[in-house]
Amino acid sequence: MSTPANQGKLAERAGMLPAALFVAAFLLVPLGLVVAYSFMPANSFGGVDPGFSTDAYRNVLYEQRLDGSFRLSAAYLLIVWRSIYVAGLTTLIVLAISLPVAIYIARQVPRRRTFLLLMVTIPFWANILIRTFAWILLLRDTGVINGFLTALGVISSPLPLLNTTGAVLVGLVYTFAPFMVLPIYGRMERLQQSQLEAAHDLYANRWQVFRHIVWPAALPGVVAGSLLTFIPCLGSLIAPELLGGGKQMMLGNLIYRQFSEARNWPFGAAIAVLLLVIVALIGLVQVYLARRKFAGKVA
């Protein structure tokens, strides 16, 4: 039964084949491997032994004592919590900085807009390691900031700036701000000046124009930017490692260590799966909210 509609669908499916293969090869296979590893016994020289084991997941919550008994431990949950906390805080700070920046850029004449957008993306031009080391030079005890303050006589001994949660936040905010500015800018650019004028004309003051016109228009960009910031932040590695001095461990560092020094691949894989579940939950919430909004539109 090759009705035209069926043929169309077939052609559509055939057209999707390359994309499907790509996803399978580069996403599903590695992901399957990670999940599989997380359910296998650890080999003490790294890698995994054949077999099935849920030890890795048990280890997330329980600590094995010397006598072999298990005890509830919050050490890893604390890292999960710190990751969510730092990623969330980073997202909020990035949003607070990026929203006015994006609105400002969108209001400029086109030539200036292009220039300012270029400025926003400048951090991308340098390697992330180099950028992070630059922050170390700024923040360390003998660094630029402490040196400057000491020279001015504001402080007598250097402020502990490096290896703090604050330092990690600075690094993350700096890294992810463009990911928030660009999607919000995209929305703001499309917001017509006459919409703002119409709102003013209908007796809205500046705050009301922001609240009722600008913010709703920016919201899809804010959501996109927040996801682009929050999700990579959760698993970020370099900023907590270098700026947090490894003391402010986050999920990314934890996973990294299991595959390197700790040589516990199944545990690393289990943490990675945990991270994936958190991200998937966020994705589900996002889909749910979008659906609800869409339903409201049609009703």
Partner 1 sequence: MLDVTHALELDLVRKTYGDPLHGHQALTGASFHVKDNEFFTLLGPSGSGKTTLLRLLAGFESTTSGEIRLYGKPIQSLVAEQRPVNTVFQQYSLFPHMTIAENVGFGLKMQGRPAREVAARVEEMLALVKMEAFRNRRPAQLSGGQQQRVALARALAPKPKVLLLDEPLSALDLKLRQAMRLELKQLQAKTGITFVFVTHDQEEALAMSDRIAVLADGVIQQVGGPREIYDRPANLFVADFIGDNNFLKVEVLSRQGATAMVRGAGIEAVQARDAAQGASQGTLMVRPEALHLSAGEGRVRFAEKARVLADIYLGNALTYVTALPDGTHLNIRDEDARRAAKPIAEGQTVEVWADAEAPMLFDGAGK
Question: What is the contact surface with partner 1 in residues (CB under 8 A)?
Answer: 192, 194-195, 197-205, 208, 212-213, 216-217, 297, 299
Check the CA dihedral 84-90-95-96 and report its sign: positive
| Minimum distance from residue 222 beta carbon to partner 1 (Å) | 14
| Minimum distance from residue 185 beta carbon to partner 1 (Å) | 18
Task: Return the structure tokens found at 153.
Answer: 């006589």
Task: Return the structure tokens found at 144.
Answer: 């630029």
| Minimum distance from residue 282 beta carbon to partner 1 (Å) | 23
Residue 206 CA to residue 197 CA, distance in Å, equals 11
Whose Cβ is closer to partner 1: residue 74's or residue 198's? 198
Whose Cβ is closer to partner 1: residue 107's or residue 263's? 107
Whose Cβ is closer to partner 1: residue 172's or residue 224's? 224
Whose Cβ is closer to partner 1: residue 196's or residue 242's? 196
| Minimum distance from residue 218 beta carbon to partner 1 (Å) | 11
| Beta bridge pairs of residue 72 | 62
Which helix (H) or strand (E) covers residue 63, if one does?
strand 62-64
Q: 175 and 239 in contact (C-beta within 8 Å)?
A: yes
Burial class (CB in 10 A: 0-12, 13-18, 19+), 26: exposed
Residue whose pair of structure tokens reads 């329980």 in the numeric block: 62
Whose Cβ is closer to partner 1: residue 111's or residue 297's? 297
Kindly state the DSSP code that residue 235 receives in the 8-state scheme.
T
| Minimum distance from residue 109 beta carbon to partner 1 (Å) | 13
Residue 264 CA to residue 188 CA, distance in Å, equals 47
Alpha-helix runs per DSSP H in the chain: 4-23, 29-38, 55-61, 75-106, 110-121, 128-139, 144-152, 165-190, 193-201, 206-209, 215-234, 238-242, 251-259, 265-298
Whose Cβ is closer to partner 1: residue 21's or residue 202's? 202
Q: 105 and 113 in contact (C-beta within 8 Å)?
A: yes
Whose Cβ is closer to partner 1: residue 70's or residue 294's? 294
Whose Cβ is closer to partner 1: residue 13's or residue 190's? 190
Please list, in sequence order, all residues whose beta carbon lies within 8 angstroms of the beta carbon of residue 202, skipping any fewer than 6 positions away.
Answer: none
Burial class (CB in 10 A: 0-12, 13-18, 19+), 232: middle
Burial class (CB in 10 A: 0-12, 13-18, 19+), 151: exposed
| Minimum distance from residue 201 beta carbon to partner 1 (Å) | 5
| Minimum distance from residue 209 beta carbon to partner 1 (Å) | 9
| Minimum distance from residue 299 beta carbon to partner 1 (Å) | 7
